[in-house]
Amino acid sequence: MSAFRSSPALRLTAAAFAAALLAFPLSAQAPAGGAAGKVVDAQSEAPLAGAWVEVEGTRFAAKTDKQGRFNLRLPPGQYRAIIQHPLYQPTSEGWWVGDGTLTITVALEPNVFDLPPVAGTADRRLTLADRIPLTDGTGEGVPDVFGPDDLDQSGSMTAADFLTSRLSLVRVPCEQTTAGTAEIDECVRIRGSARRVCVSMDEAALPGGLSVLSNYRPRDLARVSAFRGGEFVMIYTKAFIFNVKWNEWRPVPVSAQMKAFCRMR
């Protein structure tokens, strides 16, 4: 998908303007220095955090914030931008940037994942999600586990809403802020006290706890496993499951993730 946009302060000759129109449709414009705007989901129009906006052939790039916003300071000129997100189909746009700011809203279409089977038999086509470990090795029992069917059919708008609803968690203010957790402002009540939720996603720590899960949709996830009443949440996304080399992948044990990312034993 491709579009061409122009800032209001740029003045083109009639010939250049006509050539631009032949190559790309001209989009809406707005005031004040470079290119700025937001990236959203094409279906829900929800803002997309963590999308990359890169200007081809330059060092200019920006990552969207929690509201899906980005801001690039660009000198006047003609550019091509690539906009991408791990869970969405990438797109590109042509930009005419003048002395003012080109205001942009980019809508990305979600990827459609056809999860590959783990090498098995024709009569039992296991997906990679079936290989994700389900116990933490601490003797605390089997966690609450939600698979693709639960997640795809969920009416929840965000992964945070899905998790608190399914586990009947009550969100409460955190009782104190410790060093390095300034962005974590939301806890849940577990066993009578306010606790921060530690989250791993695709075998890496996801800073921000429960609050950051508001940036993810249930349908983008392949499996969510909640341990110790929701104190530790292990998530695998469809993008990870789709792209991993299944014949080489060895899932990191739950206990190892809890220890490495959450300092839990």
Structural domain boundaries, residue 245: 128-262
- Tokens of residue 75, six digits: 């000198």
> Are 214 and 140 in the same domain?
yes
pTM (2 d.p.): 0.52
In a domain, 116, yes or no: no
Task: Select from 75, 108, 141 the last residue of a domain.
Answer: 108
Element (H, E) at 22: helix 14-23
> Are 172 and 258 in the same domain?
yes
> Are 146 and 192 in the same domain?
yes
CA dihedral 213, 219, 223, 224 (to 10 degrees): 30
Q: How many CB atoms lie within 10 A of CB 229?
A: 16
pLDDT digits (tens, 9 = 90+) for 149-198: 888 888 888 898 898 888 888 888 776 544 443 344 568 787 777 888 88
- Tokens of residue 118, six digits: 């783990």
Per-residue pLDDT at 250: 78
Q: Among 120, 132, 74, which residue's Cα sits nearest to residue 251? A: 132
> Are 153 and 87 in the same domain?
no
In a domain, 121, yes or no: no
pLDDT digits (tens, 9 = 90+) for 1-12: 555 565 554 444
Query: In angstroms, how far apart are the furthest CA atoms of the chain?
Result: 74
**Ranges under pLDDT 50 in the chain:** 9-32, 114-126, 136, 138-140, 177-184
Q: Among 172, 162, 178, which residue's Cα sits nearest to residue 192? A: 172
In a domain, 246, yes or no: yes
> Are 8 and 98 in the same domain?
yes
In a domain, 115, yes or no: no
> Are 93 and 9 in the same domain?
yes
Task: Select from 108, 137, 157 the last residue of a domain.
Answer: 108
> Are 32 and 71 in the same domain?
yes
CA distances (Å), origin 155, targets 45, 121, 161: 16, 34, 9
Q: SS3 for 55?
A: strand
In a domain, 152, yes or no: yes
In a domain, 122, yes or no: no
Number of domains comprising the chain: 2
In a domain, 119, yes or no: no
Element (H, E) at 199: strand 198-201
> Are 21 and 62 in the same domain?
yes
> Are 138 and 67 in the same domain?
no
> Are 190 and 253 in the same domain?
yes
